[in-house]
Amino acid sequence: MADHPGRLGLGRFDDALATLDEAIATARANGLRDSQAIALNGRAGVLFSMGRLDDAIDAGRRSLEIWAEFDNPHGEGGATDTLADACRRAGRLAEAEAGYRRAIYLHHKAGHRAVEAVCLWGLGDTLQDLGRQEEARKCWHQSARILRDVHLLTEEELEVLLGQDLPQRPDPVKHF
């Protein structure tokens, strides 16, 4: 998810939304479609943090519509994982699963292995919600291995996670 005040725990959601709305309007007025998509994704993230999931999903979809105009796996991947997070929290598990799978592909393509790992963990959580425990475990294990590969987990932390029936969310995923 994109960094914004809600994600940073400052709690000034209304201020963040006003700033993002201004950024969206300015980008639209100046024909800066990629900037508009970035601000819409930030808006989706703030709305997600506020629990306004339908609004977050709407903003995320609008961001993705714009990213479709570009060949930018970084931007599209960020918007896709934000949307998948909101869909999962809203109980739209099939949409969340599809979103996480797309985000994993895009982040892998962009070379963002740590974000790919976070999305794999989200996919695992979604699969668990769908009652697909073995598939979920495979996602969590793959995520943990990537986190080790990018030096965000030690070999010892990896072994602990791989030994758990229901792996505990590692710090790099918790704090993303």
Q: Is the pLDDT of residue 61 over 80?
A: yes
pLDDT, tens only, 147-163: 999 999 999 999 999 99
pLDDT for 130: 98
CA atoms within 13 Å, Cβ hemisphere of 22: 6
**Average pLDDT estimate for 161-169:** 92
Is 107:123 a contact under the CB 8 Å cutoff? Answer: no
- How far, in Å, CA of 96 to CA of 145, rounded? 22
- Neighbouring CB atoms inside 10 A of 3's CB total 9
Q: What pLDDT shows up at residue 9?
A: 55
Model confidence pTM above 0.85:
yes
CA-nearest of 113, 63, 109 to 84 is 63
The answer to whether residues 135 and 100 touch, using CB atoms and an 8 Å cutoff, is: no
- For position 117, what pLDDT does the model report? 98
Among 1-15, 57-71, 103-117, name the one with the lowest average pLDDT: 1-15
- What is the amino acid identity at position 137? R
What tens digit of pLDDT does each residue of 3-57 get?
333 444 567 899 999 999 999 999 999 999 999 999 999 999 999 999 999 999 9
Nearest 10 degrees: Cα torsion 93, 21, 4, 38: 70
